[in-house]
Amino acid sequence: QAADNPYERGPAPSNSSIEASRGSYATSQTSVSSLLVRGFGGGTIYYPTSTSDGTFGAVVISPGFTAYESSIAWLGPRLASQGFVVFTIDTNTTLDQPASRGDQLLAALDYLTEDSSVRSRVDSSRLGVMGHSMGGGGTLEAAKDRPSLKAAIPLTGWNLDKTWPEVRTPTLIVGADGDTVASVASHSEPFYNSLPSSLDKAYLELRGASHFTPNTSNTTIAKYSISWLKRFIDNDTRYEQFLCPIPSASLTIAEYRGNCPH
C-alpha cells in the first residue's frame, strides 16, 4: 500500500480490473443467523481471506421489498474480492419500509464492527451502505441518520421521501431507464437533485435496464460501485479516473451526471 494513503488496497486499477467478475483478493464467507442478532435479519459476510493487508473498509447491502439477501448476493464476492468486507443482509420482514431498512443497515454495520467473527478485519471508521429498491431508499435513510458514513449507493432506489438535503455522505445514485416500479423521474432523479450541490454525488442511469437489473450480475453497476467505494471508503484517488471526467453515455449508460473533480 502506498505510504501516502494507508487505506488503499490492491493493485493499481484498470478498466478491465473494475469490469472483471472478481478482483485480486480471494474471498471467504460466513453466515450470520437471524436467531443470533437483533435489529436486522441476519445475512452473509464476504471478506478477503488474507489478513496480510491489514483491515478493510466495509459495506452493508439491503435487499428490496419482498426480497431476500439472495437478490443482492452477487455483490458480495464481487465487491469483497476488490478489498472490502461486504455484508448482504436479510431484513426483519420482507415487507419492511425504507426507514426501517435504513435502521437495519446501521444495526448490521454495528454488528459487523462490534460483534461479528470478522470484526478485527474491519476498519470501523470506513463504512458504507448500499441497497436495492426499498433497500436503496433505506440507504439514503441510513446516510441521513449517520453522517460519518463514507459512501452510499442506492440501486434503483424507492422512497416516498424525495428530498435528501441532509445527506453528508458521498452518494452514487443508480437508476434504470426502463424502471416502471421506481421510475427515475419519481425516485432516482429527484433523490440526486435534492442532494446538496456541494456533496460528492453522481447519478448513473443504466440503459436498457429495469427495476430488477440490480438483482443479477451487472458490469456497469459493479465498475461504478467499486470505483465509488474505493474513492470514498478508501480515499483511493487511483479510482478517480473512472468517475471523472463524467462518463459518457454509451450502450450501457443512458445518462451520467455528477460534480467533478471529487
DSSP state of 96: -
User: Minimum distance from CB of 174 to ligand 9J3 (Å)?
Assistant: 14
Q: Which amino acid is at 4?
A: D
User: Residues near 123 by Cβ (< 8 Å), separated by ≥ 6?
Assistant: 7, 55, 56, 57, 58
Question: Does 41 engage in binding with ligand 9J3 (CB under 6 A)?
Answer: no
Binding mask 155-174 for Zn ion (x = CB under 5 A): ------x-x-----------
3-state SS, residue 203: strand
Q: Is 51 exposed, middle or buried (0-12, 13-18, 19+ CB in 10 A)?
A: exposed
Q: Is 4 a catalytic residue?
A: no
User: Residues 211, 225, 227, 236: which is the catalytic one?
Assistant: 211
Contact of residue 65 among ligand 9J3, Zn ion, none (CB under 5-8 Å per partner type): ligand 9J3
DSSP 186: T
Please choose, from the candidates 238, 244, 246, the residue with its C-alpha nearest in 3D space to the C-alpha of residue 13: 238
**C-alpha grid cell for residue 226?**
467499486
Closest CA relative to residue 101, chosen from 44, 154, 30, 175: 154
Under 8 Å between Cβ of 89 and 43: yes
* 187 is an active site residue: no
Residue from 158, 191, 203, 228 touching ligand 9J3 (CB under 6 A): that is 158
Give the residues across from 201 on adjacent strands: 171
Judged by beta carbon, residue 161 or residue 240, the one nearer Zn ion is: 161
Report the residue number, 19 or 166, with the smaller CB distance to Zn ion. Answer: 166
Contact residue for ligand 9J3 among 119, 161, 181, 257 (CB under 6 A) = 181
Q: Which of residues 45-84 bind ligand 9J3 (CB under 6 A)?
A: 64-65
Report the residue number, 1 or 163, with the smaller CB distance to Zn ion. 163
CB of 74 to ligand 9J3, least distance (A): 17
- Residue whose CB is less far from Zn ion, 17 or 194: 194
How many other C-beta atoms are found inside a 10 Å radius of the C-beta of residue 109?
Answer: 24
Kindly give, in sequence order, each residue whose CB lies less than 8 Å from that of residue 23, ignoring residues fewer than 6 positions away.
Answer: 10, 17, 78, 81, 82, 83, 226
Annotation marks residue 14 as catalytic: no
- The residue number whose beta carbon is nearest to Zn ion equals 163
Q: Which is nearer to ligand 9J3, 91 or 116 (CB)?
A: 91
Residue numbers at the binding site for ligand 9J3 (CB under 6 A): 64-65, 133-134, 158, 181-182
Residues that bind Zn ion (CB under 5 A): 161, 163
